[in-house]
Amino acid sequence: MASLVGNCGRSITRSHPGRSAQKPRCSTRSSALVRRGLLLTAGLLVSPLAQAADSEFASSAALAMGNRQGSFMLSDEEWRSKLSPTQYSILRQASTERPFVSPLSNEKRTGTFVCAGCGEKLFSSEAKYNSGTGWPSFYQPLPNAVSEVPDFSIFFMPRTEVRCKKCQGHLGHVFNDGPKPTGQRYCMNGAAMEFEVEA
């Protein structure tokens, strides 16, 4: 008779030569308990870090949202009076319009796209292209026309917000999946802009 030691530390007796010994049942149970312990520990460690990161990102987003003072400034009451509710929601509160609703997405005339808040020239029609996203898209802005600001408003999905440099109105976001020559896609809210046809 052979005596084997199982994974649980207890002896297993083999009474019939040539037959394999029964595997100890506690090895699977032990592994499951170890896995549960590791998952619980990881959860306890990650939770405070996630909360801290969430708080930090939220603070950064709130700070960026509150800092919307450019060289062209109006009071909140004046902005509400000047802009339509949709324009105010986008330009001053950084909301996003639904895709495929802006007539500027299909604008093909030669001209300039300007800020609906202050009239600053933002994009040339020459830089416009059809990205298929449903928002007016450009591969580059006019020189010194926009500001690019880190945006952490979506947890664990950092983006780059694009604002009008003059009034700091929210225009949209820029992504690195655009065409040549820049490789960038300035994905803009149509309601944040107006179009001036070249004379």
Structure tokens at 6: 């199982």
What residues does 146 pair with on adjacent strands?
Answer: 164
Is 26 designated active site? Answer: no
Cis peptide before 181 (omega within 30 of 0): yes
A 10 A CB-CB count for 118 gives: 19
Say how far apart CA 39 and CA 166 lie, in whole Å: 50
Locus of tokens 């830089």: 127
Catalytic-role residue among 115, 118, 167, 187: 187
DSSP code at position 92: T
Locus of tokens 């330009």: 91
Residue among 180, 189, 135, 181 at smallest CA distance from 162? 189
The SS3 of residue 28 is: helix
What's the one-letter identity of residue 148?
A: E
Q: What residues are annotated to the active site? A: 187
